[in-house]
Amino acid sequence: MSIMKKSGLAALLLLLMSCTKVPPAAPNRIMAGYLEGDLGALSIGDPRWDGAVETPIPLKQQLIALPKSEQDGVAQIGVRAFYNGEWAAFLLTWSDPTPDHLTKMGSFSDAAAMEFPMEPGDLPDSAMGGAPGSAKPVLIHQWKAVWQEAEAGNIQGIKTFYPNTWSDVYLFEMPGTPEARAKMERTFTTSVAAENPLAHHGKAVRDLEAVGFGSVNPSEEQLSKGNGEWADGKWRVLIVRPVARLRGGLDTTRLLHAAFAVWDGAKGEVGARKMQSAWTPLEFLKPAAHASNPKGGNSRGQH
């Protein structure tokens, strides 16, 4: 083949590669590109995600703490990331043929979470920081489909979960103004009235802290936000968090680590029954490096 024909074939391959929407992959670390602007307003459908590096991260059953997973769930999650001086945004993608938006008897909401160590030094166990007594604190940002439905106002009493429920006298449906019914529902929905953090109210993404198995509690700083979209057998969930926090801030000048978990509600996954990852390196590309290579590339030693 002549040199001219080879050059033409190479140009054609580059053209085809530039036309595809499949993102470049970084197999062994998350590579967060620097992006100016208000990342707090970034959406799942923003076309800039198409050029972000996606890192495939394997997930395994949680088999350390009880109750353990009884079957395999989601085997892999894809992670893309952007950051700037104020925000860090993470787009999580995984396959799930059945979206589970609500929690009912015997079935649970789909959910995902990402975790960061809260202290410098040696990494804690990725399973909630480790066993009680020797665990280190971790910060968790968790999204749940049912929380998103509640934030959007799509949960309207028991009939949202069980449409065929019937009662001759049901306090939530007594005549009255919408405000009065909402107040009554809050009063008689005891978990909401008691401000149980697991109740169906609040935000789609919540900030949690843990120091070992069974120690998850809401963080005093509820600063992250996000949402999820399901289409064509896949969830795409955006979690955006501030770079700076009083507890669990991100030092974007260093190589950090993050871990991930996914719950498939249709498979009975809830609480400790989940698929989880090991710690994955998280590299924040310097603005100058990102400017010369907007897609992040697969180079190393950029920090």
Amino acid at the residue 230: W
**CA–CA distance, 26 with 297 (Å, rounded to integer):** 8
> Tens digit of pLDDT for each residue in 164-215?
777 776 666 667 777 877 777 777 777 777 777 667 667 999 999 999 988 9
Residue 236 bridge partners (DSSP): 93, 229
Both tokens assigned to 90: 């993470």
Query: What DSSP letter does each residue of 116-157 carry, written as one string?
Result: EESSSSSPPBTTTBSSTTT---EEEEEEEHHHHHHHTT---S
Say how many C-beta atoms besides its own lie within 10 A of residue 2's C-beta.
7
- Position 219 pLDDT exceeds 80: yes
Distances (CA, A) of 267 to 99, 111, 120, 168: 11, 12, 36, 35
Burial 237-267 (b: 16+ CB within 10 A, else e): bbbbbbbebeebebebeeebbbbbbbbbbeb
Is residue 103 within 8 Å of residue 109, measured between CB atoms?
yes
> Tens digit of pLDDT for each residue in 278-290?
999 999 999 865 5
Number of alpha carbons in the 13 Å side-chain half-sphere of residue 255: 12
Instruction: Please give the share of the chain, as a percent, with pLDDT higher than 70.
Output: 82
Say how many C-beta atoms besides its own lie within 10 A of residue 26's C-beta.
21
**CA–CA distance, 183 with 179 (Å, rounded to integer):** 6
pLDDT band at 141 (very low <50, low <70, confident <90, very high): very high
Residues 6+ away with beta carbon under 8 Å from 291: 34
**CA–CA distance, 277 with 58 (Å, rounded to integer):** 6
Both tokens assigned to 104: 């009912």
**CA–CA distance, 257 with 273 (Å, rounded to integer):** 23
> Tens digit of pLDDT for each residue in 222-268?
999 999 999 999 999 999 999 999 999 999 999 999 999 999 999 98
pTM of the model: 0.81
Say how many C-beta atoms besides its own lie within 10 A of residue 74's C-beta.
20
pLDDT of residue 193: 75
**CA–CA distance, 128 with 210 (Å, rounded to integer):** 6
Higher per-residue confidence, 65 vs 52:
52
pLDDT of residue 12: 44
Q: How far apart are the first and last CA of the chain?
A: 42
Say how many C-beta atoms besides its own lie within 10 A of residue 190's C-beta.
10
**CA–CA distance, 82 with 93 (Å, rounded to integer):** 15
